[in-house]
Amino acid sequence: MKFWTVITFLQVFEILKSEAWAPASSCYRPKKAFTLFSALPTAPDISLNILVSNGDEQSMSKAASFMVNSFWLGTGRLLIPVQDEQEVSVSDATRRILFDEQVFDLTAKYGERMGKRLLQSCLLAAFDSESGDILGMVGLETSLLDKSKEDILSPELAESTLKNAVASLGPKQRRQYKDSSVKEIAQELLPPDLQLICCLSNLAVSPSARRRGIAVKLCNEVERIASSEWEFDSLFLKVESENCAARYLYEQKLGYKLKYTIESATAIRIDLGAGCFVESEASTIILAKAITL
């Protein structure tokens, strides 16, 4: 039986013991407490639990299902419709392909690995504590900011860059960095243009639960973890320039400021004709915010 890290918005101290997130169709109820954890205050009329995934296969599958239905298919903005068809439909086969690819992507970022994950990451979900439905989700991960290129490296490239920095040293120097933190390696071995940063990603809220402040609560919890637990003093994120709803949330409600603009960045869309994810191009911005708490 695996444990979850749980932050509840009810005024209690309890911990949930579960193999994965509770199915949306079942009633989600806290189990008997086994240890203590911190609780966050909120309005008394809100019954919301924020859980941190343990990265197992079941939780990644649950997260992938939510992302496909609530993020990728929750709005027409990310769809490339089939030509000459007025109604947009998604077949079961297409849903399965999207689900499998999303599982692979989330597992690579937040799932369990055979070896130790060099760069920190975690995936949080907001559950309705009464219905058991996932209402929102957000990821938190570390990466490298390339100031010269004004872009954030992919997790894979960031990890290989850090590993190569140590591997390029002589045997004696490599031993000196054997027990060093990623921050120490980045500060001492990487060029000044490469900065270790903390990034918010994969924010999504169920279409049926929008405009209830769930995205703000998830982002606030991500900021708390990044600051108090991971000891970062700023948080970065990428968002498409034309995503007005997301930009309003980040810039107007949460106080993020423009850092860089990437005129032609890789964007992901769903090609309904091909029934799969495809790469496209879109103007993208990088936002940043100071998060000293």
Among 30-34, 202-206, 281-285, the range scoring the smallest mean pLDDT is 30-34
Which of 78-87, 147-156, 229-238 is the least confident region?
A: 78-87
pLDDT tens per residue across span 211-220: 899 999 999 9
Instruction: Give the phi and the psi of residue 136 in degrees, each rounded to 5.
Output: -165, 165
CB of 82 closer than 8 Å to CB of 273: yes
pLDDT of residue 48: 87
* Nearest residue to 143 via CA among 213, 238, 52: 238
CA–CA gap between residue 208 and residue 188 (Å, rounded): 47
Specify whether the CB–CB gap between 284 and 241 falls below 8 A: yes
CA–CA distance, 18 with 251 (Å, rounded to integer): 36
Average pLDDT score over residue span 250-277: 95
Per-residue b/e over 195-214, b at no fewer than 16 CB within 10 Å? bbbbbbbbbbbbeebeebbb
pLDDT given at position 273: 86
pLDDT > 90 in the chain, percent = 68
pLDDT number for residue 86? 55
Question: Above 60 in pLDDT, residue 2?
Answer: no
What's the confidence (pLDDT) of residue 270? 94
Is 22 in contact with 130 (CB distance < 8 Å)?
Answer: no
The label of the residue with tokens 């997130």 reads: 21
Averaged over 15-32, what is the pLDDT?
Answer: 33
How much is the mean pLDDT over the chain? 84
Whether residue 33 is predicted with pLDDT greater than 80 in this model: the reply is: no
pLDDT at residue 238 tops 70: yes
Helix (H, G, I), strand (E, B) or coil at 14: coil
pLDDT confidence tier of residue 6, bands split at 50, 70 and 90: very low
Confidence of residue 41 (pLDDT cuts 50, 70, 90): very low
Lowest mean pLDDT among 27-31, 92-96, 106-110, 176-180: 27-31
C-alpha 129: how far from chain center: 21
pTM over 0.85: no
Q: How do residues 199-211 score in pLDDT, each as one tens digit?
A: 999 999 999 899 8
Q: Using pLDDT thresholds of 50, 70 and 90, give the confidence band for residue 11.
A: very low
Task: Summarize the confidence of residues 236-253 as an average pLDDT.
Answer: 97
What SS3 class is residue 291?
coil
Domains recognised in the chain with CATH numbers: 5-290 (3.40.630.30)
Side-chain-side CA neighbours of residue 287 (13 Å): 20
Q: Which of these ranges, 67-71, 115-119, 152-156, 280-284, has the smallest mean pLDDT?
A: 115-119
Instruction: Give the residue-averaged pLDDT of 247-266.
Output: 96
Is pLDDT above 50 for 45? no
Angstrom distance (rounded) from CA 96 to CA 143: 30
pLDDT at 16: 33
